[in-house]
Amino acid sequence: MKNQQIARIFDEIAEFLELRGENVFRIRAYRRAAQNIDGLPKDVGSMSDDEIEAVPGIGKDLAGKIHEYLTTGRISKHEELMKTIPGGVIDLLRIPGMGPKKAMMLYEKLGVKGTEELEKAIREGRLAGLPGIQKKTEENILRGISALEGGKERRSLGRVLPLAEEIVRQMQENAPVEQIIVAGSIRRMKETVRDIDILTTSKRPEEVMEAFVKLPHVSRVLAQGPTKSSVLTEEGVQVDLRVVEDGSFGAALAYFTGSKEHNIRLREMAVRKRLKINEYGIFEEPGEKKIGGRKETDVYRALGLPYIPPELREDAGEIDAALGGKLPRLLELSDIRGDLHVHTRASDGSHDLDTVVKAAIGHGYEYIAITDHTKGLGVAHGLDEERLTEEIRLIDEANTKLKGFRILKGTEIDIRSDGRLDLADYVLTGLDIVVASIHSGFNQSSEQITRRLLSAIRHPCVSVIGHPTGRLIGERGAYAVDMDAVLREAAKHGVAMEINAYPLRLDLNDRHVRLAKEYAVPLVISTDTHVRNQFDFMTYGVSVARRGWLEKKDVLNTLPYEKLIKKLRSCRTGKARHREKKG
Ligand code: DGT
Ligand code: CA
Ligand code: ZN
């Protein structure tokens, strides 16, 4: 994906402009463009000029710059700005997460002229006390440097999966491959992944390898052999490609999908059945007669097991469940009927109500909930009682014109630091859904933050707890919440927990989801869409649910509208009396 590179360049331009004290609107425009490009689920390289111009925040000028990058691999404005800074700073800019401002500061204060010198300075403790540098910043820089060198950094699934899919697509176009599939932790949809493992079959393996090492993403070839090659992409991710025999494809797929722990359990079972299972096939022990391996199901069938979906292969009880005929019938993406956490331009979303609704209908949904932020979140232009009342009116009006689609009136209400909600109850009684979330005070003690969430759950108008742990993968850990206590309280009050499908969040995570199911807490899966194509993030949320063993019946937004509205907890009065009550 070129998206990340372009986003990074725009961010850097913004920082350069900032360093030079230029127009704040100009700076903001680049930042916003960067954010929106990074949020695109599709490669800009595969979009038409019109489509690119339709991305929010991208006008003719920025579309031109994107076009320039796609055709020349550079943006001249960026290059000009690069010329204004010393050469030693440029090397520092290669580090993921390092912007021009920080790089200049480190150069000026410490005189470091490259990643090696910087690493040394960190190890010697020379960064301590510099403006904006914390222990965490130092750790991030060190991790960035080692990622540059090794390509073995764990990254979020949301970053790597689109890249993996694109590499597969390019291989299908440019190489004589037959079957081709991504295995490893990506196939298991683990929330972070270390590298991309791809398996393929071909009659002409050498040509496949030639094409692979020449892919446009490749920045370095680590190894090239007749059946296995490894490369490093421009993004610093390692990709391993293996060509296997047709008759071994299923066995290899099972082997390289893992997890390692799951495979070990399978092999132990095989030994007891006097079988041998490896990446080449399934063999009967005396004599080594091959009895299968073409299909992945061969492996499970040989062991007397039903097929186990990749998301469950973590040696977390799936083999016993399979033996006992107790595997869950996992939720599917197509079971989802609507999205219950969506922002519009009224707060920090990119589109008006109409555009968002059209996108949801285009997505095949039956309903969405509009859940803009509330006033406590000033940066997101959160709504006060009056603005939310106006939004409710707009939704009522829109609903009268829609057939076969419903907009739920909602809010993503801020849970204040003392646990109180950010809006007066009289507005909440006019809503179909209240998603309550924490957006500040992440450093509170476990006791404080747990109490805060418990009091939100006890508020009779709250339907859902949004992104319940607040973590941002690779950026910010979960706050110190006692999740067990929160889930028990949610079960007691029938409050749903959200699986926020936004790839950076995936919050709840798979372990919490499984615990929630055990406590019979209702779950919803929502994308937290701010830009219309982010409805596509649902697939990540569904993966978390699958890894948490969820079935269709465990998830509220698989229900048709009428049933959903009965199951969702709310304090709706039926009549929108909020206006009379006001003041
Ligand atoms: P990752 O890359 O850390 O996100 O996680 P995986 O699961 O993709 O791990 P990776 O890439 O090291 O290996 C891919 C699969 O290959 C792994 O899930 C199982 C299999 N595998 C790798 N090494 C071993 C091993 O030493 N023993 C066994 N049984 N399987 C292995
Ligand atoms: Ca892997
Ligand atoms: Zn939120």
pLDDT digits (tens, 9 = 90+) for 253-263: 999 999 999 99
Closest by alpha carbon to 533, among 23, 8, 44, 12? 44
pLDDT at 99: 82
pLDDT value of residue 19: 81
Reply yes or no on whether the pLDDT at 146 is more than 90: no
Cβ burial, residue 457 (10 Å; 0-12/13-18/19+): buried
How many CB atoms neighbour CB 416 within 10 A?
18
CA 362-568-564 angle, 5° bins: 45
For the chain, the average pLDDT equals: 92
Residue 123 has pLDDT above 70, yes or no: yes
- Give yes or no for residue 576 having a pLDDT over 70: no
Give 237 Cα–ligand 2 centroid separation in angstroms. Answer: 11
Contact by Cβ (8 Å): 371, 343: yes
371 near 345, Cβ under 8 Å? Answer: no
Helix, strand, coil percent content, the chain, rounded in steps of 5: 50, 15, 35
Nearest residue (CA) to ligand 1, atom 10: 184
Pick the atom of ligand 1 nearest to 193's CA. Answer: 4
Distance of CA 413 to the CA centre of its chain: 22
Nearest residue CA, atom 2 of ligand 1? Answer: 194
Per-residue confidence at 367, pLDDT binned at 50, 70, 90?
Answer: very high
Reported confidence tier of residue 207, pLDDT bands at 50, 70, 90: very high
Please compute Rg for the chain using Cα positions.
Answer: 26
Task: Tell how strand 406-414 and strand 367-370 pair up.
Answer: parallel
Locate 99 and state its tokens. 């912007």
Cis before 259? omega within 30: yes
Instruction: Find the ligand nearest to 498 CA.
Output: 3
Q: How confident is the model at residue 149 (pLDDT cuts 50, 70, 90)?
A: low
* CA of 234 relative to ligand 2 center, distance in Å: 18
Ligand 1 atom, smallest distance to 184 CA: 8
Structure token pair of residue 64: 């031109």
Q: Which ligand is nearest to the CA of 188?
A: 1
By alpha-carbon position, which residue is closest to atom 27 of ligand 1?
A: 260
Q: pLDDT of 154-198, one tens digit each?
A: 899 999 999 999 999 999 999 999 999 999 999 999 999 999 999
- Rounded to an integer, the average pLDDT of 40-65 is 88
How far is the centre of ligand 3, averaged over its atoms, from the C-alpha of 562 (Å)? 26
294-339: per-residue pLDDT in tens? 999 999 999 999 999 999 999 999 999 999 999 999 999 999 999 9
Indicate which atom in ligand 1 lies nearest the CA of residue 195.
Answer: 2
Average pLDDT, stretch 276-289?
92
CATH fold for domain 335-582: TIM Barrel (3.20.20)
The model's pLDDT over 477-488, given as tens digits with 9 standing for 90+, comes to: 999 999 999 999
For 126-135, 143-152, 345-354, which range has the lowest pLDDT when averaged over its residues? 143-152
Q: Are 1-81 and 86-152 the same fold in CATH?
A: yes
3-state secondary structure 516-557: HHHCCCCEEEECCECCHHHHHHHHHHHHHHHHCCCEHHHEHH
Give the residue, 97 or 445, on which the prediction is more confident. Answer: 445
Ligand 3 center–CA 386 separation, angstroms: 20
pLDDT digits (tens, 9 = 90+) for 372-415: 999 998 888 899 999 999 999 999 999 999 999 999 999 999 99
Ligand nearest to the CA of 347: 3
How many angstroms does the Cα of residue 7 sit away from the middle of ligand 2?
Answer: 26
Cβ contacts of 74-82, under 8 Å, gap ≥ 24:
75/6, 75/9, 75/13, 77/13, 78/9, 78/12, 78/13, 78/16, 81/12, 81/13, 81/16, 81/17
Boundaries of every domain in the chain: 1-81, 86-152, 155-243, 248-323, 335-582
Task: Using the atom order of ligand 1, give the atom closest to the CA of residue 188.
Answer: 7
Q: In CATH, what number does 155-243 get? A: 3.30.460.10
Q: Which of 196, 230, 256, 265 to mutate to test the pocket of ligand 1 (most atoms within 8 A of CB)?
A: 256
The residues lining ligand 1, judged by C-beta closer than 6 Å to any ligand atom, are 184-185, 193-195, 197, 255-256, 258-260, 263-264
Ligand 1 atom with the shortest distance to the CA of 240 = 11
Distance between CA atoms of residues 467 and 451, nearest Å: 16
The residue ranking higher by pLDDT, 451 or 380, is: 451
- Å from CA of 152 to ligand 1 middle: 13
Q: Write the class of the CATH domain 86-152.
A: mainly alpha
CATH fourth-level superfamily of 1-81: DNA polymerase beta, N-terminal domain-like (1.10.150.110)
Closest listed residue to residue 469, CA positions, set 482, 478, 460, 461: 478
- Ligand 1 midpoint to CA 260 (Å): 5
* Centre of ligand 2 from the C-alpha of residue 232, in Å: 13
The DSSP symbol for 156 reads: E
pLDDT at 31 over 80: yes
CATH number among 3.30.210.10, 3.40.50.1220, 1.10.30.50, 3.40.430.10, domain 248-323: 3.30.210.10
Mean pLDDT of 122-134: 89
Does residue 577 carry a pLDDT above 80? no
pLDDT single digits (tens) 35-51: 899 888 888 888 888 88
Counting residues of the chain whose pLDDT is more than 70, the rounded percentage is 97
